[in-house]
Amino acid sequence: MTSKKSTKNKKILYRRSKIAGLWAEGISQQQDIADALKARYNIEVTQMTVSRDLEALKIEWQEERVAETSEAITAALRVRRHLLALALTDYAESKKPKETTIQETIDSGPRSAEDGAKPETRTKAQIKTEERNGDPRYLTVASQQATAIEKIIGVYAPEKRDITSGGDTIAIKEVIVELAPDEHMEN
């Protein structure tokens, strides 16, 4: 029993793949699809079968689009969250005090060559600490990423803007003009 059902399912899937191909070619009329199935693939079906198969395909395609959209949203959120974390980390890093070490080598001059000694040198080091308030460019990037995340997840309500009428109701008027025959044309 399962082998008959499996064979039937395979035939349906095969037929639907051919219908999808014909649909993609631009053949949209169900009877034309049924005729093309018979002519090209020797598959004889009724217009009603084509209709059911198209409905099943449209549902399948819609589910695929929803899944692809969900994956795209997830990927976009992942990227934006990563960029937000980087911007905040870099901002915190830019607030840390900056330490600068200054080293100076002082040479006491040449010693007598008779002694065979090298000139005496000493190193003077100084550490300078500079307080920093943080680079505001990182906050700008963080704010942009946070706003992008909010838009992706739908925090903001969609905005409706009427740019054609300024918000006024537009009445559509139908004008019919009858033209009288031109007397000069008839003569």
pLDDT computed for residue 187 by the predictor: 45
d(CA 32, CA 38): 10
Cross-strand partners of 102: 126
pLDDT digits (tens, 9 = 90+) for 1-14: 568 888 999 999 99
Q: What's the pTM?
A: 0.56
pLDDT computed for residue 75 by the predictor: 95
Task: Give the containing element (helix H, strand E) for 121.
Answer: strand 121-130
Q: What is the mean pLDDT of the chain?
A: 84
pLDDT (average), residues 121-130: 82
pLDDT digits (tens, 9 = 90+) for 23-66: 999 999 999 999 999 999 999 999 999 999 999 999 999 999 98
pLDDT computed for residue 123 by the predictor: 78
